[in-house]
Structure 1
């Protein structure tokens, strides 16, 4: 089967259709196999844009679109997002006719006043599949949500991040406590119960954590953060009669490793010397 692509734009999703007819369920499976899913129309602008790209046909079969229902009195719903959007003039004249066996929808591409209008049809009828391929992926936006519209992909950034891919930390941004600053190699300031971060570098650092430092047998370990994230420090205080070996404190690095060997406490040994001892 040939795949026909409607390459009217390169940003945002792309539209595609089959050159062979198939039933509605088969059409959706075909779209999911080759692209993202059957086409979903979110507003009248998209409806008009799509029909301008589809090839004109003077008679049936036309093109399946991703709206359906499962029984006669159910509301029409779009696949995927479960939207119930219906334009004021989406349906062709006298449609939908609420036929008890017509639970799927085609879009007309014939010239004339019905062009771009919808018609409810039997899901077992053979029509052309109309699909879309999403451009948003898990890696499109570093710290944000990818949003697609016609001819555009936009990253909606999380608070504190900017850039076309939300890849840059603001030089100053409000945070929820010191841990947020540690995560992004920033210095934390506080005033009047508010905290903000001044970032050392503008590229975000992955939110890594160092492994917990084991408890000491003869001392106490106090860490600056419950979550041992980047720049967290742990300091050891030995019990009476014991002293610190290695380092008194360690710092969590961006590599996820501590800055030095594990702190520990060793016993102080007292040496008793008698009067007759020869030194």
Structure 2
């Protein structure tokens, strides 16, 4: 038969001596046979996943709306317990310690005879409907179980979390997508006047990628050589640049000119010297800045060209 509840279609079906309700997340199950708490847990673990875990007041209310009110014995075991009176109440299905402000019935838990280390939920009518009571574990109640929909393949790089209405993947840092299947990407990077080598465990320029820049001959690194794509999709350091090495500054020769390509005196730049009229250049007119920050030759100089005196002038 079909049952409609809070806008979600729920299917009830009979499984031998148990009933199950289908939700969009996990499935709830209960037995029509009463058992002590230990037997109830074994029943749940053998047939399903574990005794029911309640993670919020909303889930508590939802469970109450699902479970039938058994005539004369409206009590069900739930999967929260402790081993002695000084321990914290703990859910056996996920080791959480959630207890809502409205969970316990009035004057509960009272640990009667200091042996009440298991918990039942009331399904009787009245103010305590849906409330909890600590109870002796040897007493017999109806077990409530759940079957998990999450499995090892539900979330590629994340943890599968189930609620009463859906299944959600909580992604590990650096991953996204409905199944946490995609690594976050950083902006693509490259190097000018250099080469870049990257290790990409999760895809090019993605979370975990580590890139290292090596500059070409004649260029030096400006910045940090290595950077890594972090879990936010950002590079851990600014992308470095490769700057051309600089040779010692040149000055124009006396009685001459100096002109350098691009207006600078860095690697592979050439500088050309010229002399004024009536001056002769001594040395190479062109020098180039080399990889070792040294010019290819010394700076030339301009020598004066003296005119020869005529024979008539010499005879005077």
TM-score bracket for this pair, using the shorter chain length: 0.5 to 0.7
Compute the displacement of 1:68 (Å). Answer: 1.4
Tell me whether 1:135 sits opposite 2:149 in the alignment: yes
Aligned-partner Cα distance in 2 for 1:115–1:173 = 57
Check conservation: 1:58, 1:111, Cα contact below 8 A: no
Compute the displacement of 1:137 (Å). Answer: 0.6
Compute the displacement of 1:158 (Å). Answer: 2.9
The C-alpha deviation readout for 1:208-239, integer Å capped at 9, x for no partner, is xxxxxxxxxxxxxxxxxxxxxxxxxxxxxxxx
Check conservation: 2:64, 2:130, Cα contact below 8 A: yes
The correspondence for 1:75, drawn from 77, 83, 88, is 88
Residues 173 and 19 of structure 1, relative CA distance in 2, 3 Å threshold: farther
The correspondence for 2:121, drawn from 107, 114, 136, is 107
Query: What SS does structure 2 have at the residue aligned with 1:20?
Result: coil
Query: What SS does structure 2 have at the residue aligned with 1:30?
Result: helix
Check conservation: 1:147, 1:156, Cα contact below 8 A: yes
Tell me whether 1:178 sits opposite 2:193 in the alignment: no
Check conservation: 2:111, 2:135, Cα contact below 8 A: no
The correspondence for 2:135, drawn from 121, 141, 149, is 121
The C-alpha deviation readout for 1:225-255, integer Å capped at 9, x for no partner, is xxxxxxxxxxxxxxxxxxxxxxxxxxxxxxx
Aligned-partner Cα distance in 1 for 2:105–2:59 = 17
Q: Which residue of structure 2 aligns with residue 47 of structure 1?
A: 60
- Residue ranges of structure 2 left out of the alignment (5+ in a row): 1-15, 189-196, 213-222, 231-316
Query: What SS does structure 2 have at the residue aligned with 1:46?
Result: helix
Query: What SS does structure 2 have at the residue aligned with 1:50?
Result: helix
Aligned-partner Cα distance in 2 for 1:61–1:126 = 12
Tell me whether 1:2 sits opposite 2:35 in the alignment: no
Residues 142 and 167 of structure 1, relative CA distance in 2, 3 Å threshold: same
* Alignment root-mean-square deviation, CA: 2.5
The correspondence for 1:29, drawn from 30, 42, 62, is 42
TM-score, structure 2 normalization: 0.55
Aligned-partner Cα distance in 1 for 2:203–2:90 = 47
Check conservation: 2:78, 2:119, Cα contact below 8 A: yes
Check conservation: 1:35, 1:132, Cα contact below 8 A: yes
Query: What SS does structure 2 have at the residue aligned with 1:172?
Result: coil
Aligned-partner Cα distance in 1 for 2:185–2:173 = 12
Compute the displacement of 1:105 (Å). Answer: 0.9
Residues 95 and 171 of structure 1, relative CA distance in 2, 3 Å threshold: closer
Compute the displacement of 1:162 (Å). Answer: 2.6
Higher relative contact order (CA 8 A, sep 6+): 1
The C-alpha deviation readout for 1:141-167, integer Å capped at 9, x for no partner, is 112221222211111223443321122
Which structure has the bigger radius of gyration? Answer: 2
